[in-house]
Chain A
């Protein structure tokens, strides 16, 4: 393209918008780009046609379609599934109300959640694992979200009350899942029967929320003016970040029991949670430290001039601003942690991937169907992580964190 022709086009009337113009401008604006476009089209055709042919004609989806409950909750006693149903109903209601109250990120979460219920309710299983009542219960959940959405509009429900309700619901769902010795109807289900996506979510959500306060403390410690505290925090953070997660999980599963008194036996899920929390705390600390560093010095100086103590400055001035700036990286870290839960299968925690591997070896008819099972698991992770990263980008835009 010569300068003359460029100039001419710049002087002439603007080209009418249209598909052909768009194609010429974006795909064929030089001979090199034309070649690239054609090459890409061929590549896309080859990949897509191969993939579609495999999905619809070659692949045998039996090991995926026949075990929806196993993939979701593992070996959780089937007669006690109503407890998980109750838990879902509780979250549906809360989600619906929060959706109305805060919209934004939560609307996306709500759609994902509802879509998830719908897919599960209409799951095309050849074997009757999902009973009609379960399917109905899942559909009712979608209705509950709608009810929550309507209720959320009322002014009586304050955002603060909703937040408290979320915290209580976390506690309640633990009781529902694990049970309590007090009530016969809530008899205890040991965590080695839990499995699938349930455990994956417990690990990811548990690790990120437990590690958050530790991460904040470590970050403050690393910026402390007291050398002793700074050194301890720095060593902890750098050691944890320097080794692979799997070695931390391994340590949590083998060595931590050795360090504790002999009588203390710790549950496998807890061990994995401890390992993931330690790991996550170090990364949270680095993210928070980034947030702390982004607060201009003038803030601290102004607070000092007003006569605040160091403690007050940290809690009232610096941390609130730093934590706001840290939300997007923390969401990113949560996604990474969510993907990393797959490593827990190494220490015999039955999360989603471990269920897939168990299904694979459960029946000789499934030998050689790794691609189908792992492909399905990859799809589940992809959809959930993609939704979260999309949501994180929206929060970033709403908070205006990215623009400085």
Chain B
């Protein structure tokens, strides 16, 4: 918008350009008008809403959150009973959403990477099977898949007595999945501390030694050192806790139900399996595109300067593929988290289901929806904030 010579002078001289053609005035004017329109519409909506609220006797404060919820929740990882407050019930919902999302993201990444690599396999049959897998999942609504998985978990599995037993033991039946779960023994504290310490030390060693290698060109074997730290420190912790840090909590059939272990409801299982298999199909495409984006010349050049295969992978292919993979991968993670709200159709008590139950119990639709949206929004804004930082960092690396 660089003004030509003579009009620029005219502007400086003032008054020759009429106001309605002066771009600086127009710009400010356009902004004021759009602001007035948007704020006006919002005000109109709010006034209408306040009127309606008054007429229907709706209250708009968040005080109800302190009242007793009065409804039971199917599953919760923190102690809950109906006398707890609505806010507490809501937090249970948030935790359940986070639980299914984090576990789902973990497994979807593994499955998606496997399928994505299988798509690039030189074995025709394997790559075709991976293609069928992704095309199958990408063209069916997630909700339909979830309902199919849910009906499989409640009608397709045997009853409790005839449970399918997987090694572990893990029991599969109509009541869900009963896992053998490691629980800490009283002397287990050193072991937990040693694991945390090992992770911190391994990361520090990785970062520091790698930087040293990049600076000096001397091989520091940073991968082996961190792996070694990850193994050796927990072994010390294991010995310190007298060789008995964990105890297997095995589910045992008692009458008509299993007691002990970690119990996953059919709702959770269906939601998890549905989200994982569906999202994996999308992650597979992301991974495939990322690996294919690495230029062939890069591989040839790396071979030409004598890198061996593991160096080729860790120094050339993976860093470049990751740069392409990570942004869409994160958006798939966010999709998985948002899609977990479909659990409302099968009755897993996550955030959205909790909100709906609260509206049924206490009314207050507006406040509850604001809360729900605020939680989802903060999850995704936080993630995209971190992603932006990451993107900026890898952009500096680029030539």
List residues of chain A with CB under 8 Å of any chain B CB.
26-27, 29, 33, 36-37, 40-41, 43-44, 225-229, 232, 238-239, 241-247, 250-251, 254-255, 258-262, 335, 339-343, 346, 353, 368, 370-371, 374-375, 377-378, 381-382, 385-386, 389
Identity of the chain B residue whose Cβ is nearest the Cβ of A246 in the assembled complex? B341
B49 near A258 with CB under 8 A, answer: yes
A27 near B124 with CB under 8 A, answer: yes
Cβ-neighbour of A353 out of B38, B49, B141, B373 (below 8 A): B141
Q: In terms of DSSP, what is the predominant structure of the interface of chain B?
A: helix
Query: A40-B125, A375-B148 are contacts. A255–B366 as well, Cβ < 8 Å?
Result: yes
Stretch with Cβ within 8 A of A (4 or more), from B132-140, B169-177, B320-328:
B132-140
Complex CA–CA separation, A244 to B342 (angstroms): 9
Q: Across the interface, which residues of A come within 8 angstroms of B53, CB to CB?
A: 258
For window 258-316 of B, CB contacts with A under 8 Å fall at none
Complex CA–CA separation, A374 to B384 (angstroms): 35
Q: Across the interface, which residues of A come within 8 angstroms of B143, CB to CB?
A: 342-343, 353
For window 118-149 of B, CB contacts with A under 8 Å fall at 121-126, 129, 135-136, 138-145, 147-148
Cβ-neighbour of A247 out of B123, B139, B145, B373 (below 8 A): B373
Q: Across the interface, which residues of B come within 8 angstroms of A228, CB to CB?
A: 31-32, 34-35
Instruction: Say whether B389 faces chain A, with CB atoms less than 8 Å apart.
Output: no
Query: A40-B129, A41-B125, A246-B352 are contacts. A262–B52 as well, Cβ < 8 Å?
Result: yes
Identity of the chain A residue whose Cβ is nearest the Cβ of B378 in the assembled complex? A242
Identity of the chain A residue whose Cβ is nearest the Cβ of B152 in the assembled complex? A371
Q: Across the interface, which residues of B come within 8 angstroms of A250, CB to CB?
A: 356, 369
A244 near B338 with CB under 8 A, answer: yes
B48 near A260 with CB under 8 A, answer: yes
Identity of the chain B residue whose Cβ is nearest the Cβ of A37 in the assembled complex? B125
Complex CA–CA separation, A335 to B30 (angstroms): 36
Q: Across the interface, which residues of B come within 8 angstroms of A244, CB to CB?
A: 338-339, 341, 352, 376
A247 near B376 with CB under 8 A, answer: yes
B152 near A378 with CB under 8 A, answer: no
Chain B CB within 10 Å, residue with most, of A29, A246, A262, A389: A246
A246 near B344 with CB under 8 A, answer: yes
Query: A226-B31, A254-B365 are contacts. A374–B129 as well, Cβ < 8 Å?
Result: no
Shortest beta-carbon distance, B348 to chain A, in Å?
14
Q: Across the interface, which residues of A come within 8 angstroms of B27, CB to CB?
A: 225-226
Complex CA–CA separation, A44 to B129 (angstroms): 9
A385 near B124 with CB under 8 A, answer: no
A262 near B369 with CB under 8 A, answer: no
Identity of the chain A residue whose Cβ is nearest the Cβ of B127 in the assembled complex? A26
Query: A37-B123, A241-B380 are contacts. A339–B140 as well, Cβ < 8 Å?
Result: yes
The 8 A CB mask of B338-357 against A (1 = contact, 0 = none) is 11011011000000100010
Complex CA–CA separation, A239 to B139 (angstroms): 26
A229 near B376 with CB under 8 A, answer: no
